[in-house]
Structure 1
C-alpha cells in the first residue's frame, strides 16, 4: 500500500510538470481576406486590404496569441471602377487618410484573450496605423483552420481626421464617419 502511494505521488508530480507547448500557426495570406467598409453621409465605399503575414498561437486547442502585418499599399476599393476607383484609392493612400508612402504596413498584436464559448474568444489587441497605436476589442471565432471577426475602428485615434465631423464644422453631406468596419477571414 505504501509503495502504491509513492507511485501515485510520483505520477502526480510528473503530470503536473508536463505543460503543453505553444504552437504557432502561420496565416495563409493568399487565402485570407480583410474587407473594409467606410461610411459617409451620402453613402459608403467598400474594399479590401491584404494581409502581408501573420500567425495565431495556440496551446493545445486554446488560442493564446496572435500577430499580423497588413500591406497598406494593397488597399483598394471594390465598389468603383476606372477613373473614380483611381481617385478614391489615391486619396485613401494619401496623407489625408493612411499615408501609405510613409506607412506601408499596419500591425495588430493580441494582448489579452479570454475564452467566451467553445471556439469563441474575446480579444483585446494593439492596432498600429500610421505609427499610432490604440487598443481594439473584438470577438474571434476559431473553427478548424479558420478564424473570423468583424469589428469597427475609430480612425481618428490614428490621426486620420479628414472629413470628420468630430473635428471639422460645416461639412454637411461631405462628412465621413469616424469609424470604419473590418471583416477578417483567416486561413491557417
Structure 2
C-alpha cells in the first residue's frame, strides 16, 4: 500500500511539474525605485513591436503578445544606455497559441478583472531606473545568451509598480538601439493572483510568467 501511495505521489509531482515556465533568468523584484536621470540622444521606439509572454498550468500553456505603443531610449556618447521607457497597450493582447479554438474566450478572461482588468488599467509601463554592466550571478543557472547589461526598472501593471532586474543584451549603433531579454516574473507581485492555488489541480495556473522582447529604437 505504501508503495502504491509513493508511486501516486511521484506521478502527481511529475504531473504538476509538466509545462512549467520556460527556463529563463529569474527577474529580481523589489519595491519601486527612483527613475534614472537620463542623458544623451533620444532613440524612439516605434509602435510595430511587441512583447511576448507565456503562462503555464499542469495541462498546458498559453502564449500571447502585447503591442508596444511607444517608448524611448537615451544614449550618451553613442555608446552608453542611460535610461528609457516603454508603454504597452493591454487591450492589444493577442493569443498566439497553435490551437486557436479557445483564443477568443481566453483573451476575454485575461482582459477581465480576474487578470489585467484592461478597462481600468489599459496600459502598462516599464521605466528604467538603472543600467549596469552585466556580471554573472552564480545563483542564476540560466543566463541570456549575449547578455551585456543588467537592466533595472519600474514595471507598472494593473496599477501596481514593482522594480524588476534582469539581464539584457543591448546593442548600440549611431542609428539604432536594440534591447533583447528573456526572463520570468511572478505575476502575484502585481496582484494577478487568479488560479494561484495548487489545490485546483489541472486548473492551477502557475504564478511564474515568461516575458521576452527584442525591441529596436531609432533616431
TM more than 0.5: yes
Cα 1:119/1:162, change in 2 over 3 Å? closer
Structure 2, unmatched stretches of 5+, are: 1-38, 136-145
TM-score by length of 1: 0.81
Q: 1:121 aligned to 2:149? A: yes
Contact 2:46 2:69 in 1 (8 A): no
Q: 1:137 aligned to 2:165? A: yes
Contact 1:28 1:186 in 2 (8 A): no
Other-structure match for 2:216: 187
Pairwise CA distance, 1:172: 1.1
Pairwise CA distance, 1:113: 1.0
Which of 182, 191, 199 is matched with 1:159 structurally? 191
The within-5 A match list for 1:1-188 is 22-30=40-48, 32-60=49-77, 61-79=79-97, 80-82=99-101, 84-116=102-134, 120-143=148-171, 144=173, 145=176, 146-165=178-197, 170-188=199-217
Structure 1, unmatched stretches of 5+, are: 1-20
**What is the number of equivalent residue pairs in this alignment?**
163
Distance in structure 2 (CA, Å) of the matches to 1:36 and 1:111 = 22
Which secondary structure does the structure 1 equivalent of 2:63 belong to?
A: strand
TM-score by length of 2: 0.70
Rg: which structure is higher?
1
Q: CA RMSD in A?
A: 1.7
Q: Which has the higher contact order (CA 8 A, sep 6+)?
A: 2
